[in-house]
Structure formats: C-alpha cells, structure tokens
Amino acid sequence: MTRAILKFSKEITSEPITSQIIIEHKTPINILTAHIDQQGGEILVEIPSAQAEKIIEAFRKKGVTVEPHKPVKVDKEKCISCGACFSLCPVNAIKINEDFSVAFNDEKCLGSACRLCVDTCPVRAIKVGV
C-alpha cells in the first residue's frame, strides 16, 4: 500500500472527488484520517501500490495537491524516553520497550496528518519527515 496526503483547497471541498475517483477507477482507497471543512483540508489515504500512480494522477487532475506520507522521525540522542508521546498516539504506533526506550512503527504512524507526539514531546526530539 502507498500512503499519500491529499490536500483540498476551499474551492473544491464541496465536490465528491474521492468517491468519484474510487468509482471511476474501481480502486479501494483506505481513508486513515480526514480533516476537511469549508476552508479546505487534508486526507491521509492508503492506495493499493499497483494503482497508486494512476490514482494520484487522477486526484491531481481534479485539483488536489498530493504529497507523500511523512512518518515521524525521532532524534534518539535528544529523546529521554519519558513516554509522553506513547499515551497520545491514536493508532498505537508508539510502544515502550522492555528497557523503557520508546519505539516508533512507521507503518502505523499517521505522521504529518496527526502530529500529536510532535507537539507533546518536552524535548522536541520528534519531527515530521525530516
């Protein structure tokens, strides 16, 4: 699966673009997170890798900005393994190891579509897609 962030401007938020593309291309698209209102917004999606290029191009043709998914990166030298990020992760992408160090799962991470761990880190050891 290929993850991508779809950014919608306020001019196109009222159009059913995502459903049109799913129907037209007969390709399932998994919506992981979505934040859209009248001012615009973004959706983090998973697209089957075999169809990703075609689907991404279809979104771009309809005026959607498509960016690659960027999971968080942790500066292990700065990280103090306090666990503040662990309790906030909505998808359980963060775990505490037996040695009490913090581990991140890039496959589960919502990255730039979430940022809860980035904002809560007391030593700013977590960044998005650096």
In tens, the pLDDT along 52-83 reads 999 999 999 999 999 888 888 888 899 988 88
Kindly state the tokens that stand for 29. 């698209």
Range of weakest confidence among 16-25, 51-60, 87-96: 87-96
For residue 130, what pLDDT is reported?
Answer: 59
User: Please, is 90 exposed, middle or buried when counting C-beta atoms within 10 Å of its C-beta (0-12, 13-18, 19+)?
Assistant: exposed
Same domain, 60 and 36: yes
Q: What is the mean pLDDT of residues 80-102?
A: 88
The parent domain of residue 115 ranges over 72-128
62 plus 102 within the same structural domain: no
In this model, does residue 26 exceed pLDDT 70?
Answer: yes
Question: Which of 49, 68, 87 is a domain's end point?
Answer: 68
Identify the CATH number of the domain in which residue 21 sits: 3.30.70.260
Final residue before a domain boundary, out of 23, 43, 68: 68
pLDDT above 80: residue 42? yes
**In terms of domains, do 61 and 101 share one?**
no
The answer, as to whether pTM is greater than 0.85, is no
Q: Give the model's pLDDT for residue 107.
A: 81
Last residue of a domain, one of 68, 91, 110: 68
Residues 58 and 86 in one domain: no
